[in-house]
Structure 1
């Protein structure tokens, strides 16, 4: 194990045990170095890693704001790390489709269930606001004259928004990290479609159907429509697998 990893391990243990909390400060460089038997440069390296991960925020100087403070920014660093990892690997088409179906159908089912339970369809709560954002993307996709690339950029945004409706930060982060991969594969599939204009009309109708099912609290229908929508596009683009 590298020396800086000892610091990461210690911080993880202190967070898990409650010895470090949101807003708390890491011990100083000298204290950590002596405690773990490592050099101060190794401690500084660990703090830079923690800052890049969004776990701490640092400020120089000797005042009350100086040092490394524990902060909570769970989605942005996770998304960045996942995107970097995805960029280094060629992802099998089947794996992308299967992951999308798992995440998005669950999110649609969960969101619809929340609407049914809370009556959010008629309210001004956070969930209703998120659904209106998704509907705004649908309105932009309904505009005439969009190129396939413009359409699918909006489409990727819509599906990320769809996954975020359930309020699960991890699901939303994974979908956000998949955005580039989804857009790339979908756009590459367009030439395989026999009639892009007809396909776009069908995709728009399917999008609206999914949103309508969520808004009306039809959880099973929303999940089924999402699954059919995702798998159906790849079959239409002749990118299907025997397992679908």
Structure 2
């Protein structure tokens, strides 16, 4: 059994395994919570070596698509897990670190996605799922929070709004985008100006929720755009 690339397709053996696993997911042959066939079975089916199967599974585990259990018995093997943001966040962090995604592009994409999120929420009466977002804002009123702690809650607030809007792809993308520049965001904090910045962010968050609850998509969009641009312009000319 060979681990060499297919002479017809030119793909490497582990890529063939990934393609087969993708087919199984799309076809519903495996779902989150289910275990994949064993290495031996996959290797035999695809005509590749078990080392190629292991390599493909390691890639999927790194992307947050499965969890591998070593040993034997009913709990051994690789299980599909539902964690779509894990792989996206990791890939975006690596792209930003390698300067493949400029921070300015990440910010611009946030503007596009979050505008759609708040328009969608404001157009629904009453706006759904805002309780979790408001609870986060209440937590962010704690004056004892450090800047990094505040910004973690800030990121969760924005992703919670995306979840409430009901588009899981947008929510996953937003989580990945924010995590991809987390170090940049935290590193851009001016300690001397932070109390003023923090107070402004709290005010803007509350104003955004008010616009959504008022059912005003245009106002909600204007406030989210001003909010995102204002923060990044305060720490860099990137946006």
Task: Please report the TM-score for the alignment, with normalisation by the length of structure 2.
Answer: 0.74
- 1:8, CA displacement in angstroms? 0.9
Q: Which residue of 1 aligns with 2:169?
A: 170
Q: What's the CA shift for 1:38?
A: 1.6
Residue 160 of structure 1 is matched in structure 2 by: 159
Partner of 1:124: none
What are the residue-to-residue correspondences of 1:118-137 with 2, within 5 Å?
Answer: 119-120=126-127, 127-128=128-129, 131-137=130-136
Q: 1:78 aligns with which of 78, 88, 94?
A: 88
Which residue in 2 is equivalent to 1:218? 216
1:47–1:190 CA distance, 2 compared to 1 (3 A): closer
Report the alpha carbon displacement of residue 24 of structure 1 after superposing the two structures with TM: 5.6
Shift of 1:40: 2.1
Establish whether residue 99 from structure 1 lines up as the match of residue 95 from structure 2: no
- Deviation per CA, 1:94-117: give whole Å up to 9, x if none: 223212211211111122233x2x
Of residues 108, 113, 118, the one that matches 2:123 is 113
Q: Is the 8 A contact 2:204 2:227 kept in 1?
A: yes
Does the CA contact (< 8 Å) of 2:92 and 2:180 recur in 1? no
Would you say the 8 A contact 1:148–1:187 is kept in 2?
A: yes
Residue correspondence of structure 1 range 227-242 to structure 2 within 5 A: 227-235=225-233, 237=234, 239-240=236-237
Indicate whether 1:46 and 2:56 are aligned: yes
Q: 1:205 to 1:8 in 2, by over 3 A?
A: same
SS across alignment from 2:48: coil
Shift of 1:90: 7.0
Q: How many residues align?
A: 228
Aligned to 1:21: 30
Q: Answer yes or no: is the 8 Å Cα contact 2:89–2:180 preserved in 1.
A: no
Contact 2:120–2:165 (CA under 8 A) maintained in structure 1: yes
Q: In the alignment, is residue 89 of structure 1 matched against residue 99 of structure 2?
A: yes
Q: Structure 1 residue 163: deviation in Å?
A: 3.2
More helix by share: 1
**Could you say what secondary structure the match of 1:165 adopts?**
helix
Q: Displacement, 1:229?
A: 1.3
Segments of structure 1 that go 5 or more residues without pairing to the other structure are 121-126
The aligned counterpart of 2:47 is: 37
Distance 2:190 2:150 in 1: 14
Q: 1: CA distance between counterparts of 2:18 and 2:190?
A: 48
8 Å CA contact retained: 1:79, 1:177: yes
Contact 2:208 2:223 in 1 (8 A): yes
Between 54-63 and 91-100, the greater mean CA deviation after superposition: 54-63
Structure 2: stretches of 5+ with no match in the other structure: 1-10
